[in-house]
Amino acid sequence: MTFVVGENCIKCKLTDCVEVCPVDCFYEGPNMLVIHPDECIDCALCEPECPVDAIYSEDELPEDQQEFLELNLKLAEVWPNITEQKDPPPDSDDWVGKPNKRELLER
């Protein structure tokens, strides 16, 4: 089992979750983070740290976000690893809770 970063992370890209990950399985793209499912140890430390509720356990991933499981794997293979918390994007607050952000994902 793994944890999955979902749609809520797009354009918010808050990195609170990165600090608590004991295996450094987060990867950073231009406007989103992802979790490498082969590296995640299912410890659940990251989920409560996400201020925008963008992290789900694989078995609790909403039906309309199932594509993010495969997306996390694909993008983690090409994006660089992130191990330390960074400042959020300057407009991240403007994107919290906004729906339908999939088309805004930058790869």
Q: pLDDT at position 103, please?
A: 96
Overall number of domains in the chain: 1
Considering the domain boundaries, does residue 96 fall inside one? no
Q: What is the extent of the structural domain holding 60?
A: 3-90
Q: Is 98 domain-assigned?
A: no
Q: Is residue 35 part of a domain?
A: yes
Strand 3-5, strand 33-35: pairing: unpaired
Average pLDDT of each block of 10 consecutive residues along the chain (107 residues)? 97 97 98 98 98 97 97 98 96 95 96
What is the pLDDT at residue 86?
Answer: 96
- Pure H helices in 42-104: 67-76, 92-95
Q: pTM for this structure?
A: 0.96
